[in-house]
Amino acid sequence: MSSLKSPSLLPSSSPSLSISRRPRRFQASLQAPVSPSRNKPISFRKQSSTMINMEELSLRDQDMISTNPRQTAHGSSNSAGESPMFKLYAIAEAAADRAEMHSIIGEQRNDWNKLLLSSINSITLSASLMSAISSISAQSASTPLNVSSAILFSAATGMMVLVNKMQPSQLAEEQRKATQLYKQLEKSIHTTIAIGSSPTETDIDEAVEKLLAIDRAYPLPLLPLQDKFPKKVQPARWWPKLKPRKRVMTKKKNNGWSQEIEEEMRGVVRLLKTKDQNEYRHVGEIAVKINRMLAISGPVLAGLAAVGASASSFSSVGGWPVMLAVVGGAMATVVNTLEHGGQLGMVFELFRNCYGYYKEMEEEIEKNLGEREVDKREDGELFRMKIALKLGRSLSELKSLSSYASPSSCKDEDIQEFAGKLF
């Protein structure tokens, strides 16, 4: 190799030798200083190799595209054919984002409930302890304790009023329910796409209406606060108004519907109205009454304790202010624990959601039964199985409910069975 690198050993007069050793001569020129005259052929070779590489890359890309028909279809297909599919994917992504947001907010509001519960109880118990200590201490030492106790009781009263108005446990349950509904909507959209049937604009409109209905039922902002103590319990409504479907071409006779299935569905509707919905409305009214009573009595007891702590600073009034401060603070702590530790707001929201669950089922069944054209209904056998699963029953158990379809066969006061077995 050293002889090849030496320029004296390369005879330029021998053309055969220069031709046979041209690759080695090119290698030597890379290490030795290159004259300006040799730059042109080298740059030409580099440019030509670059052009060849670009041509190879372009051919390779064309081969990859030709071997991936899905990519070519997405790239060359008309936007009108794939626009409904893209819209459904966009709605599913929006539902997934909302589910994540509501899940995060729900955890935050659940932490609010725990933090405020422990904080208020600590404040009231500390204030009660200060009032008790002030009664056995000297007059000079009792005054600062009484003033501090009155300030703490006043702060606890204000915090109780605010927390009872907000009901953090009920807010957390609303966010949990919204998360469940958004995830359910996302799964239903992916199921529609996975089935393989081409989506239509009607499917897109229904998905958008469901998304907006959940937004209205469970708003993400905290303000304005909704009424947490309604005088009349209404079911939570997270579904839009059900609309009649277009005619569906099916090979089944009567679209899977029969007289037996219709009687079963009528029996289910009667049971839902008579037993399930009335039961959850009744227990919801009881829960909201108990919650309202505790929400009023807690701040009242804390306020009385604050008055007692303030009055105990005067030695002429006797020992009843100290007793009022200590007992009132202890009772306020108990009431606050029962209300927010027991999460009565969440319990009421659970009853409202169960009420709405059966109300939606009732409207869905009545919509199908009210449609005279059987082809516009959902598939009868599939709808029957879906209702049975929602009620927590088997198909054989659902047949027994057909006896409740007619009021003449069984009166309302004689009905003891509930339609649903899940809640």
pLDDT in tens, 127-174: 999 988 887 765 666 788 889 999 999 999 999 999 999 999 999 999
Over range 42-50, report the average pLDDT: 43
Rounded Cα–Cα distance for residues 130 and 134 (Å): 6
pLDDT at 372: 86
Q: Note the Cα 418 to chain centre separation in Å.
A: 29
What is the pLDDT confidence band of residue 68, given thresholds at 50, 70 and 90? very low
Give CA angle at 158 (299, 340), nearest 5°. Answer: 60
Rounded to two decimals, the pTM is 0.76
Distance CA 264, CA 256 (A): 14
Q: Give the pLDDT of residue 136.
A: 79
Does the pLDDT of residue 81 top 50, yes or no? no
Q: How confident is the model over 268-273, as a mean pLDDT?
A: 94
Residue 3 pLDDT level (bands cut at 50, 70, 90): very low
Query: For 330-352, what is the mean pLDDT?
Result: 96
Please report the DSSP string for 298-331 in residue order.
HHHHHHHHHHHHHHTTSGGG-SHHHHHHHHHHHH
Residues 67-86 as b or e (16 or more Cβ within 10 Å = b): eeeeeeeeeeeeeeeeebee
State the greatest distance between any 2 C-alpha atoms of the chain, in Å, as a whole number.
132
Position 17 pLDDT exceeds 60: no
Q: CA 68 → CA 63, 83, 193, 297, 370, distances in Å?
A: 9, 21, 21, 71, 49
Q: Is the peptide bond before 224 cis (omega within 30 degrees of 0)?
A: yes
Q: What pLDDT is stored for residue 316 in this prediction?
A: 53
Alpha helices in 6-78 (DSSP H): 15-20, 22-31, 39-67, 69-76
Question: Could you count the other beta carbons within 10 Å of the beta carbon of residue 315?
Answer: 9
The answer for residues whose C-beta is within 8 angstroms of residue 224's C-beta and 6 or more apart is none
Average pLDDT over residues 15-29: 41
Confidence category of residue 320, pLDDT binned at 50, 70, 90: confident
Q: Where are the domains of the chain?
A: 82-221+256-414
- Who contacts 279 (Cβ-Cβ below 8 Å, separation ≥6)? 418
